[in-house]
Amino acid sequence: MNSASSIFDVAGRVACVTGASSGLGRRAATALAQAGASVVGVARRAADLEDWQNETTGSTACVSADLSDRAGLPDIVDQITAPFGSPNILVHAAGINTREAADKVTLEGWDITLALNLSVPFFLSQALVPAMKEKGWGRIVNFASLQTTRAFPGGIAYGATKGGVGQMTRAMAEAWSSSGINTNAIGPGFFPTELTAAVFGDDERAARNAAQTCIGRNGRLEDIDGPLLFLCSPASDYVTGQILMVDGGFTAK
């Protein structure tokens, strides 16, 4: 039987984390690097990626790119693969929330939300899965949301993509798990990041969200570490197609 520490081991794995310049993606990239994986962080802001690299011990590399640029995807894939070879752990944390009310949703807002939150995780995975198949092992972690199953004001485009992420996670699991590639999603509650600046800028709203959890507080970035390492390691060998809500019990009440 594996020891408790070795089943969570990601040492020697190659991970790609999108959204590594900020928030949960940055935290995920750090957690994987500290646990011994070689990590390629992807986002647009080169300076923030460089900051992340400077503050992170371990084997790291960065790709500064706009993931919503469909035509650029093959080049981005080459850049991701260059430093350490093709990743066998893929964490899709890049995402946006335009917060447009249903009556005011613009085509631009709708299209960029669908592109980044839904199309990118699919097509980047599709591009990197063949190498995972060759190795017979892979892990894909998508980012779902409370809005995977709940409707919030101003969340129609975002919620549509996060509902989609839930179903895409199951469909990816159906397609690739028999090749050793498990796909799951983390469904965060409320975590203080750039994405949720509007939520945490309103103390009353933040307190209401905290009160809605069973635990009685909003998320801290480090709350993501354990669930992430579980889903990226052999500890989750028989777990696929699932959404692990990391929400302090928000959806339990």
Ligand X SMILES: NC(=O)c1ccc[n+]([C@@H]2O[C@H](COP(=O)([O-])OP(=O)(O)OC[C@H]3O[C@@H](n4cnc5c(N)ncnc54)[C@H](OP(=O)(O)O)[C@@H]3O)[C@@H](O)[C@H]2O)c1
Residue 84 found at the interface with ligand X (CB under 6 A) = no
Q: Other CB atoms closer than 10 Å to residue 203's CB: what's the count?
A: 8
Considering only residues 62-81, where is the footprint of ligand X by CB under 6 A?
A: 66-68
Residue of minimal Cβ distance to ligand X: 23
**Total number of residues that touch ligand X (CB under 6 A):** 27
* CA–CA separation, 33 and 26 (whole Å): 11
Which residue's CB is nearer to ligand X, number 196 or number 233? 196
- Contact pick of 17, 21, 35, 124 for ligand X (by CB under 6 A): 21
Segment (H or E) for 18: strand 14-18
Dihedral angle of Cα 91, 248, 150, 97, to the nearest 10 degrees? -50
| Binding of ligand X by 195 (CB under 6 A) | yes
Question: How near is the Cβ of 191 to ligand X at its closest, in Å?
Answer: 4
Catalytic amino acids?
158
Measured CA to CA in angstroms, residue 214 lies from 191, 199, 207 at distances of 15, 19, 13
Residue 162, SS3 per DSSP: helix
User: Quick one: which of 10, 14, 16, 23 contacts ligand X (CB under 6 A)?
Assistant: 23
Q: Which helix (H) or strand (E) holds 231?
A: helix 225-232
Question: Is residue 141 involved in binding ligand X (CB under 6 A)?
Answer: no
Nearer to ligand X, 138 or 187 (CB): 187
Determine the Cα–Cα distance for residues 114 and 108; give it in Å rounded to an integer. Answer: 10
Kindly tell me which residue out of 9, 15, 19, 250 binds ligand X, with binding defined by CB under 6 A.
19
Name the nearest CA neighbour of 85 among 54, 61, 64.
Answer: 61
Q: Based on CB atoms, which residue is closest to ligand X, 81 or 97?
A: 97
Q: Which of 10, 61, 116, 231 binds ligand X (CB under 6 A)?
A: 116
Residue 45 touches ligand X, criterion: CB under 6 A: yes
Determine which residue in the list 32, 35, 63, 94 makes contact with ligand X, applying CB under 6 A. Answer: 94
Shortest distance in whole angstroms from residue 79 CB to ligand X: 12
Decide if residue 145 touches ligand X (CB under 6 A). Answer: yes
Does the footprint of ligand X cover residue 124 (CB under 6 A)? no
**Sequence-ordered strand ranges (E) for 19-153:** 38-43, 60-64, 89-92, 138-143
Angle between helices 120-135 and 156-176 (to 10 degrees): 20
Binders of ligand X among 24-43, rule CB under 6 A?
24-25, 43
Q: Enter the tokens of residue 248.
A: 């302090």
Contact 183, 176 (CB under 8 A): yes
The least CB distance from residue 105 to ligand X, in Å, is 17
Contacts to ligand X by CB under 6 A: 19, 21-25, 43-45, 48, 66-68, 93-96, 116, 143, 145, 188, 190-191, 193-196
